[in-house]
Structure 1
Amino acid sequence: MVIYYNRLAAVAYAQRWWNDYNPQFPVFQDDCTNYISQCLLAGNAPMRGAPPNREVGWWMIGLNERWSFSWSVSHSLRWYLETSKQGLTAKQTGSASDLQLGDIIFYDFQGNGRIDHSTIVTSIIDGVPYVNAHTSNSADRLYTYETSTAYTPQMTYYFYKIDDVFKW
């Protein structure tokens, strides 16, 4: 089975829910990756894996029931995208200018190798991505996050191009 990523649907979802919470999903104190997962799902990304193992796959079952770590934790979603060979897949790229609408940027605020935050590209102006996020809800923010209180000079960015076709 072949499934196509609908980048425009992912971005439309991101624009609709950037400053609100879809009642069909749980809300987390650190909600950035839950929001990104919802955007990916809205873009037709297929879930894979299921309970009881939260460490395998990318999935959500029912409101406030169960979900994989990759659904809700930035560091886990990054590793899932790095290693997934079927379903939701992506490739890391070295430059923000390689990204398209609906792609994902991860942030390591301290530069220590641990991912702290995730965003989705919602617009591109002169080749520069702008992003939406939850936790500190924001829309169409410059991806560098230099105006954020979380910004540090040690910040490391991880750019992921979501594959346009998902193989199952």
Structure 2
Amino acid sequence: MTIIINFEYNVVMNKYDRISAINYAQKYALSPNPNFYHFGGIGGDCTNFISQCLLAGGCNMQYSSNGWYYNSSYDRSPSWTSVSELHNFLLNNKKSGPHGEIISLNSLEIGDIIQLKQNTSRFNHTVIITKIQNGEIYVCAHSNDALHRKLSTYNFIELIPIHIIKIP
């Protein structure tokens, strides 16, 4: 079954549209977009949600065996829904679509993402920054849905701040 993705995002811009990404995050943080499968019951939906935000920010899908894309719950890249696979894709992508660079926490901007290691041996959660105010970072997320949750309220043992860049 193919799901038609029908929402507004700007793919003609040559840079990542952070405002569109966070507007999407705010709209669907607590009520998932019905045009995408919700993976909450089978491992979590956090990275699926973040991928949707990146798409809404104008990042092009990359249809290849090691790319970043979503057609349906059964036809998607591992990087669309897996924390570690998205991490690897973002840091290594040199083709069209989103690219990420690890930066310091105080250099992050709205629309950037953070991956968290929460009492496990691996990173297992991805969130998107939707507000930075008085030095406090606020995020939106799925799998424990959150709208403008303070990053400081998460229980994590390590984090990776990733600055998002769009590759045309």
Long gaps (5+) in structure 2: 1-11
Q: Does 1:162 align with 2:164?
A: yes
Instruction: Say if 1:96 and 1:129, in contact at 8 Å, map to a contact too.
Output: no
- 1:125 corresponding residue in structure 2: 133
Q: 1:122-161 residue pairs with structure 2 within 5 A? A: 122-146=130-154, 151-152=155-156, 155-161=157-163
- 2:32 corresponding residue in structure 1: 21
Q: Does 1:89 align with 2:99?
A: yes
Paired positions, count: 153
Large movers: runs of 4+ above 4 Å: none
- 2:51 corresponding residue in structure 1: 37
Q: Distance in 1 between matches of 2:108 and 2:144?
A: 23
SS of equivalent to 1:85:
coil
Q: Does 1:104 align with 2:113?
A: yes
Per the normalisation by structure 2, the TM-score is: 0.84
Give 1:46 deviation, angstroms: 1.0
SS of equivalent to 1:45:
coil
Q: Distance in 2 between matches of 1:2 and 1:122?
A: 20
Greater alpha carbon shift after TM alignment, 8-17 vs 21-30: 21-30
Give 1:77 deviation, angstroms: 0.6
Give 1:129 deviation, angstroms: 1.6
Instruction: Say if 1:18 and 1:133, in contact at 8 Å, map to a contact too.
Output: yes
Identity %: 32
Per the normalisation by structure 1, the TM-score is: 0.84
Instruction: Say if 1:2 and 1:166, in contact at 8 Å, map to a contact too.
Output: no
Q: Distance in 1 between matches of 2:39 and 2:125?
A: 13
